[in-house]
Amino acid sequence: MDIRQLRHFLAVAENLHFGKAAEQIGITQPPLSQSIMALEKELGTPLFLRSKRHVSLTSFGLEWLNYVKTALEGVDALPQIAERLREGTKGHLDLSFVSTADFNILPILVRRYRSLYPDVELSLSEATSDIQISDLTKGLRHAGIIIPPRSSELPAGLCYKKLVSEPLIAAVPALWIKEQRFSLINRKLSPDSVRDAPLIIFPRHFAPAFYDLVIDYYQACGAYPNIAQQAIQMQTIISLVAAGMGIALVPRSLRHMARRDVRYIELQKPAAFLETGIAWRKDDYTPTLTRFLEVTREMLAVIS
């Protein structure tokens, strides 16, 4: 069977008259009758009960009618769906992000994008920067919000745009503040306190730029850090701080991860700024990605 036969069946079912149905679809009655008979032969059962004065649907035809309507509605919607897919207002977008982005730029971007394109299926997955960059180069994701490596270390096939930049602050065990184990200067953590405290950090290969920023800060304070523990996820790092295993230097926006057993303190000796941005493949022209990048540019114009 083909779409033409299904439209013929629907016309007759709606009119219950072969002459009127033929007129509706713009053909003569004999080919319409032949089309219906061929369809009935293919299905192996009659669709209509016919007499000289009356046409009615068989019980099978009545049941099948709803499926035919649904199928034809789907076919008729295909051009519009194709247009929306082409324009990026429908489809799929696979976006990954570093855990720190969940506390600064990610919620803003996702909220705006969803409000503009609610029919796009947005897949979000958390991953470290190194994994995201690898996945992007393999074509496994559309875009990733990453802590960028040095420009020379970014694969040639990727584009990158800065989103936010924020200073590092210290996440410290609340109990240590109560016990006055830190030297605070105008409510800021002194270099001596930073230098003497054990550090909780992630392995360097997950985000080299972030790791080097922390190490550089310690060296600017006159010491190499005493690394007490390493962890991949920022939530895990904060949990280890809460357990009193050490301190962590984290982006300022991480203060939104509020915990009663952790305090976030500004650094008396200012640290360098940590950058977060979005990366995507140069040869990826997926319409939903194009729309997302447009939203990103618009949001940057507003918040800058």
Domains defined for the chain, CATH in brackets: 3-87 (1.10.10.10), 91-163+276-303 (3.40.190.10), 165-273 (3.40.190.10)
**Is the pLDDT score of 232 beyond 90?**
no
**pLDDT of res. 149:** 85
Q: How confident is the model at residue 157 (pLDDT cuts 50, 70, 90)?
A: very high
Pair type for strands 48-50 and 188-189: unpaired
**pLDDT of res. 304:** 63
**Is the pLDDT score of 106 beyond 90?**
yes
Query: What stretches of the chain adopt beta strand conformation (E)?
Result: 48-50, 55-57, 91-97, 120-126, 143-146, 158-173, 184-185, 188-189, 199-201, 227-230, 248-251, 262-265, 273-281
More confident residue, 286 or 206: 286
Rounded Cα distance, 223 and 112, in Å? 44
Mean pLDDT within 255-267: 90
Write the single-letter amino acid at 82.
A
Q: In the beta sheet, which residues pair with residue 262?
A: 173
Tell which residue, 246, 206, 253, 204, has the closest CA to residue 226: 246
**Is the pLDDT score of 112 beyond 70?**
yes
Give every CB contact of residue 203 below 8 A, 6+ residues apart in sequence. 211, 230, 232
Please give the biggest Cα pair distance in the chain.
Answer: 103
Through-space distance between the first and last CA atoms of the chain, rounded to whole angstroms: 59
**Is the pLDDT score of 271 beyond 80?**
no
Q: Rounded to the nearest 10 degrees, how much is the dihedral formed by the CA atoms of 127, 133, 135, 141?
A: 80
Mean pLDDT within 209-224: 90
Query: 148-171 burial by CB neighbour count: b if 16+ within 10 A, else e?
Result: bbeeeeeeeebebeebbebebbbb
Percent of the chain with pLDDT over 70: 99
Q: In the beta sheet, which residues pair with residue 229?
A: 200
**pLDDT of res. 96:** 97
Q: How confident is the model at residue 79 (pLDDT cuts 50, 70, 90)?
A: very high
Mean pLDDT within 200-205: 91
Give me the chain's average pLDDT, please: 92
- Cα 177 vs. chain centroid, distance in angstroms? 39
Structure tokens at 78: 């295909």
- Cα 23 vs. chain centroid, distance in angstroms? 50
pLDDT tens for 13-26 read 999 999 999 999 99
**pLDDT of res. 163:** 95
Give every CB contact of residue 192 below 8 A, 6+ residues apart in sequence. 183, 221
Q: How confident is the model at residue 289 (pLDDT cuts 50, 70, 90)?
A: very high
**pLDDT of res. 303:** 72
**Is the pLDDT score of 281 beyond 90?**
yes
Structure tokens at 211: 């790791």
pLDDT tens for 135-151 read 999 999 999 999 998 76
Mean pLDDT within 58-81: 94
**pLDDT of res. 69:** 96
Give every CB contact of residue 4 below 8 A, 6+ residues apart in sequence. 35
- The answer to whether the beta carbons of residues 164 and 147 sit under 8 Å apart is no
Structure tokens at 194: 């930073």
- The answer to whether the beta carbons of residues 185 and 268 sit under 8 Å apart is yes
